[in-house]
Amino acid sequence: MRKLIASIYKETLLLLRDPGGLIILFLMPIVLVITITLIQDATFKSVSGSTMDILLVDHDKGELSTEINRRFDSLPFLNPITSYNQKALSEAKAEALVASGDYQLAIVIPEGLSTDLNAQIKDNIDKILAELQGEELTADTIEVPQKLSKKTVRIYFDPITQETFRSSVMFSIDKLIATIETKTIYKAFEEALGTTQSIGSFKRESFVAYEQINPSLKGAIELPNSVQHNIPAWTLFAIFFMILPISLNLVHEKGQGTFVRLRTTPVAYHTIIGGKAAVYLIVSLLQFTLILILGIVVFPQMGLPELQVGSNLGFLYLVAFAAGLAAIGLGILLGTLFNSHEQAAPFGAVLVVILAAIGGVWVPVFAMPDAMQVIAKISPMNWGLEAFYDCFLRKGGFFEILPELGLLIGFFISTIAIAIFYYEKKKSI
């Protein structure tokens, strides 16, 4: 026990005498979490929280385009722009403005859209009424739709806009036009029947309503925000970034001859790495505590959502504890395998980035290709992230996070066992 305490004391002194390492371990995660959360906050807010300018070129000047413009005006998150530099907006100008990145979206309503749509609807209604009354359709009636050319609403997107945004805009515009078309059909039926009493009693409001629900394992409904997504993800990134100082510390001791001197003393390798593991485990818990305080106290002062910890604080620390062990085990393994800074530093840094990428820190796992979703399951960052999400968002308990805890602790035991085996094998040569 005295040897382990002495090893812990040595590691503590080494860490305290390394201000650069302390900055990497404590200041970097804080700056990282603040920066990423500020950038992504708008993404997780309701769309009504911000306004988007869209260019609207109206070649139709009819009833349909007027209704589209009115609908856009009524939406608080859209600001339709129909003129530029006090001149009516042309399609060429709108295309140029979108291509230059000044605007993300331009909608061009074709000429004759209202007239042709009304004619198409009137023709279809005339056919229906004629069939109901047992009248024969004439050749002229059948040929009317062929005389009407299909109208295309052109939508210009900024090349940098994501596909999900494009699909959402296309769906919204299609739904808007379909709603207006339905209203026009009702109106045309009323005019064709010559009365408003039979059709006027129809309910025109949408019969189906939608309610967004975020279920949790305890039944509590909580809307996820940028803080609840970024705190777990980037806390794990910071914890696993300990791989670098741990591995470089071991490599440095090899270069200084510390390990050669330790071989002459009755100190086992597991005692040496046990001291490192104890110190850096405390560091990982301190990192987690600082980021929690940041989310609870500092973020609300910056206009960001407050981190809601709830009653799962103990489970959160349990996940941080297991994730810290996994990171420490990996760092000790790399430090045992490599013999120079040139080997350990770039490999460790790239490995952390790869584990974060496939683990869902940057891109959600469900949005990845099927093959990458399978690969993500072998990333210890993904295990920790899922456990954090179980606590933060799904309100899970101990048994819900137990599988991930088992994987993280098992990963730690495996890496430490491999490191000790490699060290003893190399020592005997």
pLDDT tens-digit readout, 208-257: 776 666 566 665 555 556 687 778 888 899 899 889 888 988 888 777 77
In eight-state DSSP terms, residue 429 is: -
pLDDT at 418: 94
* Cα–Cα dist 247/251, whole Å: 6
* Cα–Cα dist 189/178, whole Å: 17
Assess whether 127 and 230 both reside in one domain.
no
What angle, rounded to 10 degrees, do the helices at 139-147 and 113-132 form? Answer: 150
Q: Is the residue at 205 inside a domain?
A: no
Q: Is the residue at 29 inside a domain?
A: yes
Assess whether 240 and 148 both reside in one domain.
no
Radius of gyration of the chain, Cα coordinates, nearest whole angstrom: 32
pLDDT at 408: 96
Q: Is the residue at 293 inside a domain?
A: yes
Q: Is the residue at 297 inside a domain?
A: yes
Number of domains in the chain: 2
Assess whether 286 and 418 both reside in one domain.
yes
Mean pLDDT of 71-75: 78
C-alpha closest to that of 395 among 318, 308, 323, 324: 308
Residue 134 has pLDDT above 70, yes or no: no
Q: Which residue has the higher pLDDT, 170 or 290?
A: 290
Contacts of 354 (CB under 8 A, 6+ apart): none
* Cα–Cα dist 119/140, whole Å: 14
Do 89 and 55 touch, CB atoms closer than 8 A?
A: yes
Mean pLDDT of 94-108: 88
Point out the least confidently predicted range of 128-137, 175-184, 264-273: 128-137
Q: Is the residue at 112 inside a domain?
A: yes
Assess whether 248 and 109 both reside in one domain.
no
Assess whether 33 and 72 both reside in one domain.
no
3-state helix, strand, coil split of the chain in percent (to 5) is 70, 5, 25
Q: What's the length of the chain?
A: 429
pLDDT at 48: 44
Q: Which residue has the higher pLDDT, 401 or 267?
A: 401
pLDDT at 47: 44
Range(s) of the domain holding residue 196: 47-200
pLDDT at 181: 80
Q: Report which listed range, 108-122, 138-152, 208-222, 276-290, is most confident.
A: 276-290
